[in-house]
Amino acid sequence: MSGYLSGVIAILGINVIFAYGIYVTAAAGQLNLGGAGFQAIGAYAAAILSLEFGLNIWLTIVVATLVGGLIGFLIAFPILRTRGVYMVLATFAFAQVVVGIVLNSEYLGGSMGFIMSDYVEVGVVLPVTLGVIVFVFYLMSTPVGLAMRAVHDDEPVADLMGVNNRAIQVAAFTLGGAITGLSGALYAYYFGFVEVQYFNAILSIFVLLYVLIGGTQTAWGPLVGASFFTLIPEALRMGEDWRFLIFGVLIVLMMIVRPEGIVTRDALDRIWLKLSPRGRDA
């Protein structure tokens, strides 16, 4: 495998994990525009645990994931007091606060960042990505996943059916923070450095687009959305002068043609019906 191909696969894997971290909260009816903040937390936690405390790679990745989940749990309570666009703004503000803290902290490297002493290759990123994909698909098939879907579709009705909306949303925010923190730790180890300028507002917007354009109705959505946003720009790289324009047009067209996302429950139901023996006989 060439270095270029392995690099694209590794970036795709990190982006898929990142997208699933945002998807978990979106699946419970919460739009999280603070993805860059959670990824920065995971990346900087991994860097500090590795450089300052000398922990090995796997232990560092696990702890960085737990740190992301802990922060997600702590900020879930104030953020969930908001609704709609105010929740989006609150999560966006959280990401900006994280960036501001890092920039003004010498211990966290400030604007210079950190250079990692250890690194991982695509052979590590890919299995972890597959594990996250399997886990999220399994989660969405459990009673917890069904409760998340109910809260996403209609909170008052879910409450009437006995679903603890607040507990489901806090759990989703916690799990989303953990998965996003995992993507940050892998980013730090794969690229070998961490700098706060990478975790900017554009990154938060892009990862949310991964989920919204891919679709929030099923666990296939983030996988398709992250693949679309990672692979299409690479395929358009040969036309360097025009690729961003073409990519932007494609995004607008997708939002017009498929405002509910590329992958929806109805589309999957039609596919399964056609693939099933009964559907073929019909």
pLDDT at 42: 97
**If you average pLDDT over residues 174-186, what whole number do you get?**
97
Distance CA 183, CA 195 (A): 15
Beta bridge partners of 194: 114
Position 221 pLDDT exceeds 70: yes
Instruction: Enumerate the β-bridge partners of residue 193.
Output: 115
| Confidence at residue 278, expressed as pLDDT on a 0 to 100 scale | 57
Residue 114: what residue type?
F
Grouping H, G, I as helix, E, B as strand and the rest as coil, residue 65 is helix
Q: Which residue has the higher pLDDT, 279 or 150?
A: 150
Whose CA is closest to 67, among 40, 94, 85? 40
pLDDT at 2 over 90: no
Strands (E), 88-223: 114-115, 193-194
pLDDT in tens, 152-172: 888 889 988 889 999 999 999
234: β partners = none
What's the burial of 193, exposed, middle or buried (CB within 10 Å: 0-12/13-18/19+)?
Answer: middle
**How many helices (H) does the chain have, and how many strands (E)?**
13, 2
Burial class (CB in 10 A: 0-12, 13-18, 19+), 53: exposed
Q: What angle do CA 19, 23, 24 make, to 5 degrees?
A: 125
Residues 2-20, mean pLDDT to the nearest whole number: 91
Parse the chain into domains and list their residue ranges.
3-200
| Distance in angstroms (rounded) separating the CA atoms of residues 262 and 213 | 6
3-state secondary structure of 137: helix
Query: CB of 21 within 8 A of CB of 177?
Result: yes
Q: How many CA atoms lie within 13 A of 149 on its CB side?
A: 14
* pLDDT (average), residues 15-36: 94
Say if residues 266 and 258 touch (Cβ distance below 8 Å): no
Higher pLDDT, 60 or 82: 60
User: What is the value of pTM for the model shown?
Assistant: 0.92
State the chain's mean pLDDT as an integer. Answer: 89
Written out in words, the top-level CATH class of the domain with range 3-200 is: mainly alpha
Q: Give the lowest-confidence range in 87-96, 180-189, 256-265.
A: 256-265
Show the DSSP H helices in 104-154 as ranges: 122-141, 143-153
pLDDT at 238: 61
Minimal CA–CA distance to 151: which of 169, 139, 138?
A: 169
Does pLDDT of 245 surpass 80?
no
% of the chain residues with pLDDT over 90: 60
Q: Which residue has the higher pLDDT, 109 or 270?
A: 109
Taking 90 as the threshold, does the pLDDT of residue 204 lie above it? yes
Cβ contacts of 96 within 8 Å, gap of 6 or more: 37, 201
**What pLDDT shows up at residue 59?**
96
Question: 115: which strand partners?
Answer: 193
